[in-house]
Structure 1
């Protein structure tokens, strides 16, 4: 799948290197290159893009701030000389974090990861309330009611079902959008729970069978609203 790519990098040599990498990659098309976040913001409405290669140490507005303003569907790969921003970057659901200097092989691995998230998900819900989940070369057909909860592990997720576990390459945030209308709720940045399978709800946790699922601070209001509870 071809991805329209935008570079935001204020250092000329670093920007030229990225341009060469993008032009040499079979899945990328370079549609624009900017030297600052402000320049990108001014022209973003006129540019169709799937991926941002985004430096963090930009003048005036840094890359972390800009990433927080982007629409959810946009994929971001940070390019930076500073390792200390990695945790903050992944908290913003960055697809990857390239630490300068990086070579074309490392760059290509990041693009492979982007492609795995950008392509249509390996899950299909049918009219009879079954879900098809692709795990490697196998496709599992599972009743939605059998899904207990889903745990995110970086670019992978673990599906905990009544019949066992499945591990697939998915974005947890994408699955939340996909499964939300089917009575699933995200309780923590790493967990999605089938609402019908919640046995006990208390301050900080939801119990699903013998499992104790955390409720993140930023998700407490949604959980309270979902279950019509006062979690004191």
Structure 2
């Protein structure tokens, strides 16, 4: 008998999070927005009025039971499949790499290597330090705080996927100090590091020098995370 696929694993994960949440409505809203599905689209998929979805998310309607949660999750996944299944594949890659989706948002390999400048243009990133190489063959988008606090050094290295020839995009960054220090003890380092959510004036003053020493390109972007994830999908 074959094992469960990424769709089934993701459905179980989402349903579990909603059911066990202290605020099921907020958790439902988080997943719906993560899938870029409007209340109206989800309501149409389930054959109910959009006010039903709104009432669940706001807590005006009693928390949905397991059966209703299952239908809501199936609706989200069905919409994603019709759109090409990008979110299902995204979470499938993360899960198959052995990570939780609250640590790693996306991990993928490209069919061919691409110019780093193309990736930076796509996510509106500004290069601060030029690296030793100007091409990448994949990317990983990771929550910096959760990665540094929860991952062992071996798990951290798995962020590289199939190759260090990639861009590591770190979110939840305040100054970039912890990322730069963490990368000092990881060998080898990636081709590129993108710090998401900070301006250049907020960057730790030693980060550019450490990037130069370790040979990776360092860049910053303040584009919304959803836009970054969407643009990275289009690079394939």
TM over 0.5: no
**How does the TM-score come out when normalised to structure 2?**
0.31
Query: 1 or 2 for the larger relative contact order (CA 8 Å, sep ≥6)?
Result: 2
Bigger share in helix: 2
**How does the TM-score come out when normalised to structure 1?**
0.31
